[in-house]
Chains A and B, each alone.
Chain A
């Protein structure tokens, strides 16, 4: 019996800034996980990751991360992914203090 597929988002780091970004359903890279496309189908996930990997001039090291549906969009399920949405805990640096607008 095959394992049940858990929902995923495609994520990576931007080439120029190095910050974490998530792939949206309309092929943009957003700095907010809430904007990401929540992928519920394994075959579709493979396709989206393939698409992300072809964007090597924009995003580095794309991978699939587990996520779940939240009231405002996808949310991380693992603490590592949660940290990537916020920034470090020792300083108010990174996404937790930057005014984050969706961008391509």
Chain B
């Protein structure tokens, strides 16, 4: 794992000291809110419905146990004893007091973390495959590149006042777990003649105008990555629509100018920029790569026999994935216990996860964009101990990838931008399908819920997407079908009129019932059934009255 250099440490400390003074000047009345707001946003501090919210970056979703324990300490000391993990591998604290925030940032700096560029029109937290460095299907660990991008983008003088925010995701795997096609830039590691490089995808994004990213370069040599990314951001920085914030993201720029023209401009800019990169970036990168060397894996003989019963077997089946070493596994810890808030972990749970990582799993943790926590390197022989500890902490729910493993943004329970609540809908769906004891039978099904059109809950790429809206002063939920967040990314199609908060869970139940009726077998997932049959049987289940009317 990457450890801060003296430079990183000095930079982050200096920023905290600056912000401490800015907060003091605001409290003393020497800064107006108009003056202060951009300063607090640069440091990840939002003002929401009930309180401030501090968004802390977890670069490429990687944490060690010390960092996780510090996140727990911050939650207990300055918040209400929990944190919310987000779809961009950040953690959000929902209740900080303004005067405490500099202390919270100092506590983060103590463990090499910060909240810089988690807001504002800058390059945001660089996200990565949460199985990075561990996945069986990986070409190479994408995190050194993500760390290089973090260092390059942090306080980059050219990119502090971009037309809009800018999000980059990286994966080292052909199976895309980082939603690269829905990012401003998505980087997918590929090999050409044995040489590692990247497929560069540009102009993806969700929000009010969802777009799947387009390939701007099939193969970019690794050594050209930074100048090429700089060229893309640089071209967009000039072309991007600053006149209209709804048209400012690069997806609109690519859409308006066409990928060919953007590609031409980027190549032109790249030719200028490339020579300025003397190789220092590659030197820095090799230093970073050395820090991401895999842990000293110990050889493990076999999975021990246990008397933990069916719940353990089910957890093994659902939450444990293949590691690149046969004697190790990847454990996904579900933060989606039925009826709980998706992505929330209490300070106690964070401490337990930190302890497990330190004691059994080479001191590494990851946060997934699906709002779960991952132990990426778990020797097979400690799975029973890990399961029991997780179960005792209420985080051993065997539902990864199933219908109750729902992504949900904070919605109108917290967010000032939201148009409806998301969390209670997620809680009700999970509770209902738990009652029905159907979720393992249903199999892989991704429900993603956003509480407004900005789509933090990734509803467009959910197999079933739910978008909460305000319809004439009442919460209303629109369903999209057939979205896909992986390498076969697709934007879901709107099914029809929305449902009230009371109607949405029964509607989802009808939808899933229809799937169970029409699928060709347990191997055919909801998404595959939708792709085979189209929307008709699902719409018929959602809108039986219309079906009856049309038949009459």
Q: Tell which of B94-102, B240-248, B350-358 binds the partner.
A: B94-102
Kindly list chain B residues whose C-beta atoms are within 8 Å of the C-beta of A13: 47, 51
Q: Is B474 an interface residue (CB 8 A)?
A: yes
CB <8 Å contact, A87 and B99: no
Within 8 A of A (CB), among B423-473: 423-424, 427, 470, 473
CB <8 Å contact, B32 and A61: no
Q: Is A44 an interface residue (CB 8 A)?
A: no
> B17 CB to closest chain A CB, in angstroms?
21
Against B, the Cβ 8 Å flags (1 = close, 0 = not) of A13-25 are 1011111100000
Residue from the list B424, B427, B473 in contact with A78, Cβ < 8 A: B473
Tally chain A residues at the interface, Cβ within 8 Å: 25
Residue from the list B26, B97, B423, B427 in contact with A18, Cβ < 8 A: B97
- Given that A16-B98, A17-B97 are contacting pairs, would A79 and B50 also be in contact in the complex, using a CB cutoff of 8 Å? no
CB <8 Å contact, A56 and B33: yes
Q: Is A84 an interface residue (CB 8 A)?
A: yes
Nearest neighbor of B95 in chain A, beta-carbon distance: A93
User: For the complex, what is the distance from the CA of A17 to the CA of B29, rounded to whole Å?
Assistant: 16
Kindly list chain B residues whose C-beta atoms are within 8 Å of the C-beta of A79: 412, 470, 473-475
Against A, the Cβ 8 Å flags (1 = close, 0 = not) of B25-45 are 011010011000000000000
Kindly list chain B residues whose C-beta atoms are within 8 Å of the C-beta of A18: 47-48, 50-52, 96-98
- Given that A13-B47, A16-B27, A60-B33 are contacting pairs, would A90 and B423 also be in contact in the complex, using a CB cutoff of 8 Å? yes
Residues of B within 8 A of A (CB): 26-27, 29, 32-33, 47-52, 80, 94-99, 341, 344, 412-414, 421, 423-424, 427, 470, 473-475
> B333 CB to closest chain A CB, in angstroms?
20
CB <8 Å contact, A90 and B27: no
Q: Is A80 an interface residue (CB 8 A)?
A: yes
Kindly list chain B residues whose C-beta atoms are within 8 Å of the C-beta of A20: 49-50
Q: Can you give 13 contacting A-B residue pairs, CB < 8 Å? A: A13-B51, A18-B50, A18-B51, A20-B49, A20-B50, A57-B29, A79-B470, A80-B412, A88-B423, A90-B413, A94-B50, A94-B51, A95-B50
Chain A interface, DSSP helix/strand/loop, else mixed: loop
CB <8 Å contact, B47 and A60: yes
Q: Is A83 an interface residue (CB 8 A)?
A: yes
Name, among B27, B32, B51, the residue most crowded by chain A CB atoms within 10 Å (CB to CB).
Answer: B51
Q: Is A77 an interface residue (CB 8 A)?
A: yes
User: For the complex, what is the distance from the CA of A56 to the CA of B26, rounded to whole Å?
Assistant: 10
CB <8 Å contact, B27 and A89: no
Name, among B27, B29, B52, B470, the residue most crowded by chain A CB atoms within 10 Å (CB to CB).
Answer: B52
- Given that A15-B27, A18-B52, A19-B50 are contacting pairs, would A89 and B32 also be in contact in the complex, using a CB cutoff of 8 Å? no
> A89 CB to closest chain B CB, in angstroms?
5
CB <8 Å contact, A83 and B473: no
CB <8 Å contact, B97 and A16: yes
CB <8 Å contact, A90 and B427: yes
CB <8 Å contact, A88 and B50: yes
- Given that A17-B97, A79-B475 are contacting pairs, would A89 and B421 also be in contact in the complex, using a CB cutoff of 8 Å? yes
Nearest neighbor of B408 in chain A, beta-carbon distance: A90
> B415 CB to closest chain A CB, in angstroms?
10
CB <8 Å contact, A88 and B414: yes
> B408 CB to closest chain A CB, in angstroms?
10
Nearest neighbor of A53 in chain B, beta-carbon distance: B33
User: For the complex, what is the distance from the CA of A78 to the CA of B427, rounded to whole Å?
Assistant: 23
Nearest neighbor of B423 in chain A, beta-carbon distance: A90
> A45 CB to closest chain B CB, in angstroms?
20
Residue from the list B33, B49, B94, B99 in contact with A16, Cβ < 8 A: B99
Kindly list chain A residues whose C-beta atoms are within 8 Å of the C-beta of B413: 83, 88-90
Within 8 A of B (CB), among A37-62: 56-57, 60-61
> A51 CB to closest chain B CB, in angstroms?
16
> A32 CB to closest chain B CB, in angstroms?
14
Kindly list chain A residues whose C-beta atoms are within 8 Å of the C-beta of B412: 79-80, 83
User: For the complex, what is the distance from the CA of A42 to the CA of B95, rounded to whole Å?
Assistant: 35
User: For the complex, what is the distance from the CA of A77 to the CA of B474, rounded to whole Å?
Assistant: 11
User: For the complex, what is the distance from the CA of A10 to the CA of B95, rounded to whole Å?
Assistant: 23
